[in-house]
Amino acid sequence: MNKTQKEIALVDFDPEKNQILELWFNDSVEFGHGCRVSIRIKNVLCFYRSEYQEIAIFETEKLGRMLVLDGITMLTEFDEFAYHEMIVHVPLLVHPNPTRILVIGGGDGGTVRELLKHPEVEQIHVCELDREVVKACRKYLPSLAFSFDDPKVQVFYEDGAKFVEENPETYDIIIVDSTDPIGPGQILFQRKFYEDMKKSLKSDGIVVTQCESLYLHKHVIGGVASFAREIYPKLGYYCSLVPTYPSGLIGFFFCSNKYDPIDDLSEERASKLPGLKYYTPRLHRASFVLPKFGEEILQTSS
C-alpha cells in the first residue's frame, strides 16, 4: 500500500468501471481508543511531498476545501474562522497599540487575513519554513491566502526559532500558528523558543501560541505551562471550538510581559472589527474559563 492509500481510504470501488465511488480522508491523529476522524472528499486538488512535509488539499463533500499536512488536518473552509479569529483577536484587542506583528508558521494566510482587520497594524512579518505551503494555499485556498498580497505583509521562508533569536526587541505581538509538536514543529514547544520569543518582543509585548487540545495533549500543555510561567509575568490558556479537529477543541497559550488578557481587553476596538463569525468580547473572556481537568493540568505543572 502506498502513502496515498494509507492517508486516504478508498471506499466503494467499482472494478468494472475502474471508478472510485467514494473517497474518504482519515486524520492520522487518534482520538480516544481506536477512534479516528474521517471526512468524505470529492476531489484531491494536490497531494505531494515538499522538502519538509507532505502537503495535501482536498475538496470535501460538505466542509469546503481542506488543508492537510503530514496526514493531520490543519483547516477546513467550514470552520477555520473559529481558529484564526481567536488566535488573532484575543492578543490584538488586549495590546493597546499592536503595530508590528510576527507570525510564525501561518502559511495558509488565515492568521494574516484576521490581522489585517486591525487598522493599528502597520507591519506583518510571516516566518514560514515551507514555501510550498504558501504556494499551494495561494492556488487552492485563495479565501485565506489572498492576505499575502497586502503591502503590509512580508514573508520570510526561514526557521521560526532562528528568526526570533535574530530579531530582538522588535515586535509588539508574536503569534505562533504552528503545526503539532511533530518533526520540524517540535522546537516550537520548547523552553528556549519561548525564551527567545520574549527577547524578540518589545517590553510590553504579547505572545500567543497554538498549543493543542486539553483532551489529547495534556503532557504537551502541562510541559509548556511549567516553563512559560517562569518566563512571562502573565500567563493564560484559552480555547476555541473547531469541529473538524479530532477533539473539536484547540487551545492557545497567552504569554504577556505586561497586559492582562481579561482586564485589558478593548471592547471599543472589538466593536469596530469587520466580518467576524466567531469572536466576541464575551467569548474572549469565557474562553479562558477551563473545565476542572484543564485547570488541574495547569496547576499540576506549577
Domain boundary among 45, 76, 107: 76
Query: What's the total number of domains in the chain?
Result: 2
The pLDDT tens digits for 176-223 are 998 777 666 778 889 999 999 999 999 999 999 999 999 989 999 999
User: Is residue 72 located within the same domain as residue 88?
Assistant: no
pTM of the model: 0.93
The pLDDT tens digits for 225-245 are 999 999 999 999 999 999 999
* pLDDT of 182: 66
Average pLDDT, the chain: 91
CB 109 within 8 A of CB 79: no
Please name which of 205, 240, 212, 200 lies closest in space to residue 92, comparing C-alpha atoms.
205
Split at pLDDT 50, 70, 90, the class of 299 is confident
Q: What is the mean pLDDT of residues 103-132?
A: 98
- Active-site residue, selected from the candidate residues 70, 172, 177, 196: 177
Q: Residue 211 is placed in which grid cell?
A: 498549543
User: Is residue 29 located within the same domain as residue 161?
Assistant: no
The pLDDT tens digits for 67-96 are 999 888 999 999 999 999 999 999 999 999
User: Is residue 164 located within the same domain as residue 90?
Assistant: yes
User: Is residue 70 located within the same domain as residue 125?
Assistant: no
* pLDDT of 300: 82
User: Is residue 213 located within the same domain as residue 286?
Assistant: yes
Q: What is the mean pLDDT of residues 149-153?
A: 98
- Distances from the Cα of 276 to the Cα of 15, 86, 117, 127, 272, angstroms: 47, 10, 10, 25, 10
pLDDT at 18 over 60: no
pLDDT at 5 over 90: no
Q: What is the mean pLDDT of residues 251-267?
A: 98
* pLDDT of 24: 87
Helix (H, G, I), strand (E, B) or coil at 252: strand
Here the CATH number for the domain that contains residue 58 is 2.30.140.10
User: Is residue 144 located within the same domain as residue 185?
Assistant: yes
Domain boundary among 13, 41, 76: 76
Helix (H, G, I), strand (E, B) or coil at 51: coil
User: Is residue 240 located within the same domain as residue 265?
Assistant: yes
User: Is residue 150 located within the same domain as residue 227?
Assistant: yes
- What whole-number percentage of the chain has pLDDT above 70? 90
CB 177 within 8 A of CB 160: no
User: Is residue 230 located within the same domain as residue 281?
Assistant: yes
* pLDDT of 262: 98
Q: Is 177 noted as a catalytic residue in this protein?
A: yes
CB 91 within 8 A of CB 287: no
* pLDDT of 176: 97
- The parent domain of residue 190 ranges over 80-300
The pLDDT tens digits for 44-63 are 999 999 999 999 999 999 99
